[in-house]
């Protein structure tokens, strides 16, 4: 390895090997831009397919259903961007509650870490919108065009009246689902009943129109056409999830020792006498794969851990009366060291998993507690910058403050404002006693605070305002300063 001139320096020689003459025959010009080869996943049924459909129903029931749920006089979940109020059932969140969104994102990220460390790309295979909508669009495709072989035949056939109608029917169904999805999405930001009215009467605002169609188009394009391309080329999670894998992570694996050598055989024949493994090379595992890979070549980055190949292979094994599990969820260690199921399970509880779980539980609990203890009242104190301090009748020094009082409840509230922090500090007498703030509104209240002359030395003194709701225990203390002039 060492270069003669630099024996002391380690240098990796980056020199391409000369192509040997025999290779030269194989050298051809190839395109570095690959044409998209359409994948026709075969339909699959079984335990994991049922799990996936269960999650499709669960997530989509929530997504499509939630905007229609009413809570009191309003939509239960509504993100009113224009008024900057976020309604989630009984909660009214202000932009100041942004920390909860951060918490939610932290929880989501940690959950992804945890699930991936334990069981690989479960998110990809079962819950990711890309998978879920692809599943829905594939289902429509299958209902209209037929299963894998029928679809392949249809695509290769010349255009005919029948093909035209079949394709059109699929497009109409796809576009309907896509538009409904876009409409539902916008329904989280605009009251969905009103949106429905304006959709039907074609009176939607420009942004609503844009987002219904843009989100719809994205659904249509991603679930109808891009499909596995999104996972392979666009999705960052797909790539960095492999960093969370270790040798005890569940992955979809083909049992090579048992399966090989593969080969077709009669159902009655004994594979041992034929010198064959369990794999009958039916290629069903390749046909059902939504990303078009052959799992028998080992784990590949395209694998979204959807387990379609497990379902279909188990079916085949059942038909042949072979034991299931030629392809199964297992770990690298388990395969290499021939562990039993319980040995594999015991390795789930490893430090990485325990740490992820610990942090996840801590953050979730902190978030829930802080939500439960949240005061539905917020106050910002802004000291008047123009007026430093002034002397008013009665020998009092006066400072002016503006208090932004934010009512995060859905009822009108009255707040009593008091001030403390210096002996003799009072609110100017001729001010209203109670600040009235309408439901979910915020209001600026101008407050004058007075201190007897010479009650405090010149300079800046910390004080605090106490704002207490009259009809509820909500109270807030906010700091500020009182300036005494020289």
Partner 1 sequence: MSDFTSNFWSVYVAVITVVGIAACLLLLWFSGKAKAMTANDNTTGHVWDGDLREMNNPLPRWWVWLFVITIVFSAIYLAMYPGLGNSPGKLSWTQKGQYEAEMSKGEKDVAPLYAKFSGMSPEDMSKDPQAMAIGERVFMNNCAQCHGSDARGSKSFPNLTDGDWLHGGTPDKIKETIAKGRVGNMPPMAAAVGTPDDVKNVAHYVLSLSGSPHDSLRASLGKAKFGACAACHGMDGKGNPALGAPNLTDDIWLHGYGENAIVAIVNSGKVNQMPAQEGKLSDGQIQVLTSYVWGLSNGAKVAAR
Closer to partner 1 by Cβ: residue 10 or 272: 10
At its nearest, how many Å lie between partner 1 and the CB of residue 18?
Answer: 10
Binding region for partner 1 (CB under 8 A) out of 173-181, 240-248, 394-402, 472-480: 394-402
Binding region for partner 1 (CB under 8 A) out of 12-20, 91-99, 191-199, 254-262: 12-20
Q: How far apart are CA 304 and CA 291, in angstroms?
A: 8
Structure tokens at 305: 């851990």
Task: Based on the shown chain and the rule CB under 8 A, indicate whether residue 32 belongs to the binding site for partner 1.
Answer: yes
DSSP secondary structure of 339-398: --HHHHHHTTS-HHHHHHHHHHHHHHHHHHHHHHT--SEEEEEEE-SS---EEETTTEEE
Task: Based on the shown chain and the rule CB under 8 A, indicate whether residue 446 belongs to the binding site for partner 1.
Answer: yes
Task: Based on the shown chain and the rule CB under 8 A, indicate whether residue 434 belongs to the binding site for partner 1.
Answer: no
Task: Based on the shown chain and the rule CB under 8 A, indicate whether residue 342 belongs to the binding site for partner 1.
Answer: no
At its nearest, how many Å lie between partner 1 and the CB of residue 176?
Answer: 25
At its nearest, how many Å lie between partner 1 and the CB of residue 385?
Answer: 7
Among 36, 84, 297, 416, binds partner 1 (CB under 8 A): 36
Burial of 34 (0-12, 13-18, 19+ CB in 10 A): exposed
The count of other CB atoms within 10 Å of the CB of residue 466 is 15
Among 247, 262, 402, 464, binds partner 1 (CB under 8 A): 402
List CB contacts of 36: < 8 A, sequence separation 6 or more. Answer: 229
Report the alpha-carbon angle 48-52-56, nearest 5.
Answer: 170
What is the signed CA dihedral for 152, 155, 159, 164, rounded to 10 degrees? 100
Among 26, 70, 82, 270, binds partner 1 (CB under 8 A): 26
Binding region for partner 1 (CB under 8 A) out of 29-37, 133-141, 142-150, 272-280: 29-37
Q: Where do the DSSP E strands lie in 223-321?
A: 251-254
Q: How many residues bind partner 1 (CB under 8 A)?
A: 36
Closer to partner 1 by Cβ: residue 398 or 466: 398
**Do 238 and 318 touch, CB atoms closer than 8 A?**
no
Burial of 102 (0-12, 13-18, 19+ CB in 10 A): exposed
Closer to partner 1 by Cβ: residue 149 or 242: 242
Task: Based on the shown chain and the rule CB under 8 A, indicate whether residue 21 belongs to the binding site for partner 1.
Answer: no
Q: 3-state DSSP call for residue 274?
A: helix
> Which residues in the 221-250 window bind partner 1 by CB under 8 A?
229, 232-233
At its nearest, how many Å lie between partner 1 and the CB of residue 439?
Answer: 16
Binding region for partner 1 (CB under 8 A) out of 15-23, 164-172, 263-271, 333-341: 15-23
Task: Based on the shown chain and the rule CB under 8 A, indicate whether residue 210 belongs to the binding site for partner 1.
Answer: no
Q: How far apart are CA 401 and CA 419, in angstroms?
A: 11
C-alpha atoms less than 13 angstroms from C-alpha of 68 in its C-beta half-sphere: 8
Closer to partner 1 by Cβ: residue 349 or 387: 387
Task: Based on the shown chain and the rule CB under 8 A, indicate whether residue 426 belongs to the binding site for partner 1.
Answer: no
Task: Based on the shown chain and the rule CB under 8 A, indicate whether residue 384 belongs to the binding site for partner 1.
Answer: yes
Task: Based on the shown chain and the rule CB under 8 A, indicate whether residue 206 belongs to the binding site for partner 1.
Answer: no
Task: Based on the shown chain and the rule CB under 8 A, indicate whether residue 385 belongs to the binding site for partner 1.
Answer: yes
Closer to partner 1 by Cβ: residue 367 or 428: 428
Task: Based on the shown chain and the rule CB under 8 A, indicate whether residue 386 belongs to the binding site for partner 1.
Answer: yes
The count of other CB atoms within 10 Å of the CB of residue 123 is 20
Closer to partner 1 by Cβ: residue 257 or 297: 297
Among 5, 10, 14, 373, binds partner 1 (CB under 8 A): 14
In order of 58, 315, 336, 448, 467, the CA distances from 256 in angstroms are 36, 18, 11, 81, 71
Task: Based on the shown chain and the rule CB under 8 A, indicate whether residue 321 belongs to the binding site for partner 1.
Answer: no
**Do 481 and 460 touch, CB atoms closer than 8 A?**
yes
Among 6, 34, 321, 460, binds partner 1 (CB under 8 A): 34
Task: Based on the shown chain and the rule CB under 8 A, indicate whether residue 429 belongs to the binding site for partner 1.
Answer: no
In order of 130, 148, 182, 208, 210, the CA distances from 225 in angstroms are 11, 16, 17, 25, 21
Q: Would you tell me which residues interact with partner 1 (CB under 8 A)? A: 12-14, 16-17, 19, 23, 26-36, 229, 232-233, 384-388, 390-391, 393, 398, 400, 402, 432, 444, 446, 448
């Amino acid at each position: 390895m060492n270069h003669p001139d630099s024996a002391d320096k380690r240098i990796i020689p980056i020199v391409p090997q000369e192509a040997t003459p025999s290779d030269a025959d194989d050298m051809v010009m190839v395109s570095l831009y690959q044409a998209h080869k359409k994948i026709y996943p075969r339909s699959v049924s079984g335990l994991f397919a049922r799990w996936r459909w269960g999650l499709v129903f669960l997530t989509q029931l929530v997504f499509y259903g939630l905007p229609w749920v009413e809570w009191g006089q309003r939509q239960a979940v509504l993100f009113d961007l224009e008024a900057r109020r976020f309604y989630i059932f009984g909660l009214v969140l202000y932009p100041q509650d942004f920390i909860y969104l951060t918490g939610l994102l932290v929880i989501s990220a940690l959950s992804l870490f945890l699930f991936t460390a334990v069981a690989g790309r479960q998110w990809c295979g079962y819950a990711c919108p890309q998978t879920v909508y692809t599943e829905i669009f594939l289902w429509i495709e299958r209902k209209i065009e037929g299963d894998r072989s029928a679809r392949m035949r249809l695509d290769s056939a010349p255009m005919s009246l029948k093909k035209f109608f079949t394709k059109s029917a699929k497009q109409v169904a796809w576009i309907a689902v896509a538009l409904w999805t876009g409409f539902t999405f916008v329904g989280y930001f605009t009251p969905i009943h009103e949106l429905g009215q304006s959709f039907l009467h074609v009176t939607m605002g420009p942004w609503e129109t844009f987002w219904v169609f843009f989100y719809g188009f994205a659904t249509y394009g991603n679930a109808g056409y891009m499909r596995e391309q999104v996972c392979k080329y666009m999705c960052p999670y797909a790539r960095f999830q492999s960093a969370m894998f270790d040798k005890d992570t569940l992955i979809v694996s083909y049992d090579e020792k048992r399966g090989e050598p593969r080969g077709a055989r009669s159902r009655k024949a004994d594979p041992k006498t034929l010198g064959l493994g369990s794999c009958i090379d039916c290629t069903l595992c390749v046909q059902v794969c939504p990303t078009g890979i052959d799992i028998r070549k080992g784990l590949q980055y395209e694998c979204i851990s959807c387990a379609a190949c497990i379902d279909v292979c188990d079916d085949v094994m059942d038909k042949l009366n072979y034991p299931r599990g030629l392809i199964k969820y297992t770990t690298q260690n388990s395969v290499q060291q021939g562990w039993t199921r319980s040995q594999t399970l015991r390795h789930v509880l490893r430090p990485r998993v325990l740490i992820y779980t610990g942090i996840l539980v801590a953050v979730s609990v902190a978030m829930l507690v802080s939500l439960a203890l949240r005061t539905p009242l917020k106050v910002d104190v802004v000291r008047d910058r123009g007026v430093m301090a002034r002397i008013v009748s009665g020998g009092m020094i006066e400072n002016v403050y503006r208090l932004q009082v934010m009512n995060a409840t859905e009822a009108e509230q009255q707040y009593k404002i008091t001030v403390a922090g210096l002996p003799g500090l009072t609110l100017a007498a001729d001010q209203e006693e109670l600040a009235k703030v309408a439901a979910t509104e915020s209001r600026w209240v101008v407050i004058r605070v007075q201190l007897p002359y010479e009650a405090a030395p010149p300079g800046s003194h910390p004080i605090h305002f106490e704002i207490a709701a009259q009809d509820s225990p909500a109270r807030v203390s906010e700091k500020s300063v009182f300036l005494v002039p020289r």
